[in-house]
């Protein structure tokens, strides 16, 4: 008999994994099955807080017929082997961004899920935020006019938190893109959600402010198939920023603080633009909030797809396209040439 709720287990949850579990706990259609972690203390604490059972080995979790799907908020370099093991065991997978460290790995993950009729969802949460839906609707209705340019920034002071030899985030084999992998992948996905596919990139990636050869900062110019242009900045060494502005022939829109605020700016008379304060309006919007109900929405979609066999709204295709852009930025930086996608 089919269980009333879809059961999900999690692997090695840290701070972000616990936010996902907080979201899961609020769902009426999902149930927490249990946790695998190499840390016995982490396993005990998770079960004490969220319920479920503990698994001392990942293989034991995957062999449990009571688990419908696996959540992987694990280090990037583990996404591919852990996802493949789960799919081969007949479990659907929700894997955090970036989907994997290489396009070849992503593509194999997607093919395997499709071949086995399993769900593979990717944690690119911006596509679930109500303010992003609002902005996309405005663009599609032509309220901004013809889109000309966009600017996107996503950064945080992460590098000082890491220790050489202890933290995988300072090992270039495990996180080759630095802030592109950790952060900018979100803005790339959001830009493609709003403006369509990226056609060509020119990038600059640097480890000049990093204690290892892992990049600590990156900039890029993006050209979209629509003809729009965008500039992208990401870093891991300064203040937190998560902003996106889109400039059209009728107005501009500003997606602030990871979508927690959406501003609308009218175009002033260019003769007085330097002297007159712009008219900026805060837009109201409905739907999921970033970091909370957006996480619940993406996990519930994952569960519903497990049950129905439908494709997830954010799956392998989105995971692959976002990684393709950030790897093209790195290739451009290394070659000094534009890279076509």
Q: Is residue 1 in some structural domain?
A: no
| CATH code of 234's domain | 3.30.360.10
Is residue 169 domain-shared with residue 248, that is, in the same domain? Answer: yes
Is residue 105 domain-shared with residue 148, that is, in the same domain? Answer: no
Residue 14 domain boundaries: 6-125+292-313
- The pLDDT score that the predictor gives to residue 268 is 81
User: Measured in whole angstroms, how far is the alpha carbon of residue 7 from the centre of its chain?
Assistant: 23
* 270 confidence band (pLDDT: 50, 70, 90): confident
From residue 177, alpha-carbon distances to 88, 115, 130, 148, 207 in Å are 28, 30, 29, 28, 10
Q: Is residue 256 in some structural domain?
A: yes
pTM listed for this prediction = 0.96
Is residue 145 domain-shared with residue 60, that is, in the same domain? Answer: no
CB atoms inside a 10 Å sphere around CB 288: 21
127 pLDDT exceeds 90? yes
Give yes or no for a contact between 294 and 129, defined as CB atoms under 8 angstroms apart.
yes
Is residue 117 domain-shared with residue 48, that is, in the same domain? Answer: yes
1 pLDDT exceeds 70? no
74 pLDDT exceeds 70? yes
Is residue 161 domain-shared with residue 120, that is, in the same domain? Answer: no
Give yes or no for a contact between 218 and 205, defined as CB atoms under 8 angstroms apart.
yes
* 278 confidence band (pLDDT: 50, 70, 90): confident
Give yes or no for a contact between 259 and 245, defined as CB atoms under 8 angstroms apart.
no
Q: Is residue 318 in some structural domain?
A: no
Helices (H) then strands (E): counts for the chain: 10, 15
Tens of pLDDT, residues 229-247: 999 999 999 999 999 999 9
Tens of pLDDT, residues 18-54: 999 999 999 999 999 999 999 999 999 999 999 999 9
């Amino acid at each position: 008999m089919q269980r009333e709720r879809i059961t999900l287990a999690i692997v090695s949850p840290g701070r972000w994994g616990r936010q996902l579990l907080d979201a899961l706990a609020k769902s009426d259609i999902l149930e927490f099955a249990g946790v695998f972690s190499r840390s016995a203390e982490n396993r005990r604490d998770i079960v004490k807080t969220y319920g479920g059972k503990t698994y001392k080995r990942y293989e034991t979790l995957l062999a449990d017929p009571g688990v419908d799907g696996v959540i992987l908020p694990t280090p990037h370099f583990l996404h591919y082997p852990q996802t493949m093991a789960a799919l081969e065991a007949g479990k659907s997978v929700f894997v955090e961004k970036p989907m994997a460290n290489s396009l070849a790995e992503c593509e194999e993950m997607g093919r395997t899920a499709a071949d086995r009729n399993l769900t593979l969802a990717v944690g690119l949460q911006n596509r679930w935020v109500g303010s992003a839906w609002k902005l996309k609707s405005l663009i599609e209705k032509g309220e901004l006019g013809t889109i000309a340019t966009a600017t996107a920034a996503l950064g945080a002071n992460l590098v000082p938190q890491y220790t050489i030899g202890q933290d995988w985030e300072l090992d270039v084999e495990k996180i080759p893109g630095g802030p592109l992998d950790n952060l900018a992948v979100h803005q790339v996905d959001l830009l493609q959600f709003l403006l369509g596919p990226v056609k060509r990139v020119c990038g600059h990636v640097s480890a000049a402010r990093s204690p290892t050869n892992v990049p600590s900062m990156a900039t890029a110019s993006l050209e979209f198939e629509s003809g729009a242009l965008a500039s992208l900045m990401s870093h891991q060494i300064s203040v937190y920023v998560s902003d996106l502005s889109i400039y059209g022939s009728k107005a501009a829109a500003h997606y602030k603080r990871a979508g927690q605020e959406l501003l609308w700016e009218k175009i002033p008379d260019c003769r007085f633009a330097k002297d007159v304060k712009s008219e900026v309006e805060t837009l109201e919007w409905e739907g999921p909030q970033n970091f909370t109900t957006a996480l619940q929405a993406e996990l519930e979609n994952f569960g519903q797809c497990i049950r129905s066999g439908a494709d997830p709204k954010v799956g392998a295709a989105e995971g692959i396209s976002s990684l393709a852009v950030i790897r093209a930025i790195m290739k451009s930086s290394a070659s000094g040439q534009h890279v076509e996608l």
